[in-house]
Amino acid sequence: MAIGLGPLPEMLPVNGFRLGTASAGVKTPGRQDLVVMELAAGCRVAAVFTRNRFCAAPVLLAREHLQEQAPRYLLVNTGNANAGTGERGLRDARACCEALAERAGVDAGQVLPFSTGVIGEPLPVDRIRAGLPAALAALSERGWAEAAAGILTTDTVPKGASVRLQLDGGPVTITGIAKGAGMIRPDMATMLAFIATDAALPQGLLDQALRDAVRYSFNRITVDGDTSTNDACVLVATGAAGVNLSEEGSPGYRHFVAALADVCRTLAQAIIRDGEGVTRFITVAIEGGATESECEAVAYTIAHSPLVKTAAFAGDPNWGRILAAIGRAGLDDLDVNGVRIWLDDYLIAEQGGRAEYYQESEAAARMAREEITIRVDLARGGAEATVWTTDFSYDYVRINAEYRS
C-alpha cells in the first residue's frame, strides 16, 4: 500500500530524449520489462552508481562506457539484476549493448546498460535481444509513463516527477522516473532513476548538479539499510531548449539546481512511500547536532532499528526504542539529559527520560498516523539532517521471503 501516492503527474516531454517500452519476458511472460531510452546527438550525461563492492555487471559496464564515449542509448531491463554473475554477467551485458547498437546504428560503447531484479541468475540475453525491435518501435518523447511502469520490480505504483521552469533564456523542462521499494539504502538507492532536461550545461556543472541533488534526496532514504548492487541515477541534458546554464553562480543555474533537487526529492520520497509492505511513511529529523555527519548517524540508527520500525507498524509510541537508538549511534560525549524527542509536535522524552507531561494516548494517536515525524534535538550545535524511511510490516517479510518464488 503506497502512502500518499496518487497517479503519475503529467510527464512533460523533453526534446531530444525518447523512451520505448516492450515486453521481453525476462522473468514474467507478457510483462512490460524492457525500456530503451534514446539520446539525441550532443546530449551530455551525468550518473552516480552504487558503491556496493559487489557491483552488478551493468553498473561496471555503464561506468566503463560512460568514460569512453558520449552515450546515445540507455537500455534497462527488470526481472534480472545480472549481479553476482561474474565474467558471464559482463559478457551478457556487453552482448545486450551490442545487440541494441547494431539495430540503432551506433557503437556498443554508446549504450549504457541497467538491470534490476533477482541477483545471481544469468541474464536471458536472447529474450532481451528479441524484445529490442518492439522497444525501438515504441520510442517517443511522450513515453515516460510506460517507461515508469516498465522499470518496476516489487513496486506497486510507477513513480515520476516533472516540472517546467521559466529562466531568463526561456522555459526549461525537467522530467524523471524512478523505481525502488526494497533493498533500499542508497550509497551514491534496488533503485534506478532516470532524469532528463532540455537545458544545456557543461559536463562539470551537470555532474555537480546531480551529485548535489542526490546527496539530499536518494542518499537520504532507507527502507531496510541494504545498499543494492545495481543502484544508479542518470541525468541527461539534451540542450534542446537553447538555454545555456554555464555559470555556477548565475540565478538561472541556481534555479535549475533547486528544481532538480525538488524532482529528485519527490522521486526519492515516492520510493519510501511505496516501500515493500509499507504502512507508515516516517521522517526522521535530527537537529542540534555538532556536525551534519553525526546528525546523519543518529537519523540512520533510528531509521534502521528493527525495534523502532516494528513499533511504528504497531502504532506503538515505544519511545524507549528511539532513546536506545540515539544512545548507540556513536556520538562522543553525548549529554543524554539535553536530548529531546518529539512525535510530530508532541514532546515525548527529555532530561534522559519520559517527558513530564507525557500521555500515552496522545503519543499513540500520533504514532497511528500514516505519516509520522520523529524529531530529535541533540542540543550540541546547529547542524541538522533528515532521513525518510518506513515501518517493517508482515508484508515486508512476506515479500522478501517470497522474492524468488
Last residue of a domain, one of 239, 273, 307: 273
Last residue of a domain, one of 249, 273, 297: 273
Q: Are residues 74 and 204 in the same domain?
A: yes
What DSSP assignment string belongs to 163-217? Answer: EEEEETTEEEEEEEEEE-SSS--------EEEEEES-B--HHHHHHHHHHHHHTT
DSSP state of 230: S
63 within domain boundaries: yes
| Contact in structure between 270 and 5 (CB atoms under 8 Å) | yes
Q: Are residues 170 and 299 in the same domain?
A: no
What DSSP assignment string belongs to 27-60? Answer: SSTT---EEEEEE-TT-EEEEEE---SS--HHHH
Q: Are residues 123 and 88 in the same domain?
A: yes
Last residue of a domain, one of 256, 273, 290: 273
pLDDT at position 189, please? Answer: 41
| Residues 69-80: tens digit of each pLDDT | 999 999 999 999
Residues sharing a CB contact under 8 Å with residue 189, sequence separation 6 or more, in sequence order:
180, 218, 219, 221, 222, 227, 228, 231, 268, 271
Q: Are residues 349 and 216 in the same domain?
A: no
Q: Are residues 94 and 141 in the same domain?
A: yes
pLDDT at position 356, please? Answer: 94
CA distance 318 to 354: 11
Residues sharing a CB contact under 8 Å with residue 211, sequence separation 6 or more, in sequence order:
48
Q: Are residues 155 and 247 in the same domain?
A: yes
9 within domain boundaries: no
Write out the three cell numbers for 202: 557543461
335 within domain boundaries: yes
**What CATH number corresponds to the domain at position 123?**
3.60.70.12
7 within domain boundaries: no
Segments of the chain scoring below 50 in pLDDT: 188-189
Q: Are residues 242 and 378 in the same domain?
A: no
Q: What share of the chain is helix, strand, coil (3-state, %, to 5)?
A: 35, 25, 40
- Ramachandran sector of residue 242 (left: φ over 0; alpha: ψ -120 to 50; beta: rest): left
What is the side-by-side order of every strand in the sheet holding 17-22? 17-22, 34-39, 73-80, 111-118
CA distance 282 to 317: 13
Exposed/middle/buried for 156, CB within 10 Å: 0-12, 13-18, 19+? Answer: middle
pLDDT at position 295, please? Answer: 97
**What CATH number corresponds to the domain at position 354?**
3.10.20.340
Q: How many domains does the chain have?
A: 2
Q: Are residues 178 and 71 in the same domain?
A: yes
CA distance 361 to 267: 34
Residues sharing a CB contact under 8 Å with residue 124, sequence separation 6 or more, in sequence order:
24, 25, 26, 80
Name the pTM for this structure: 0.93
Domain that holds residue 232: 17-273
- Residue from 243, 76, 261 nearest 172 by CA: 243
Task: Scan for cell 516540472, then name that residue.
Answer: 163
212 within domain boundaries: yes
71 within domain boundaries: yes
To the query of whether residue 386 is one of the catalytic residues in this protein, the response is: no
pLDDT at position 184, please? Answer: 52
4 within domain boundaries: no
Pairing between β-strand 111-118 and β-strand 170-179 as defined by DSSP bridges: unpaired
Q: Please tell me which residue in 190, 222, 283, 301 is annotated as part of the active site.
A: 190
Task: Scan for cell 517527558, then name that residue.
Answer: 355
Q: Are residues 262 and 285 in the same domain?
A: no
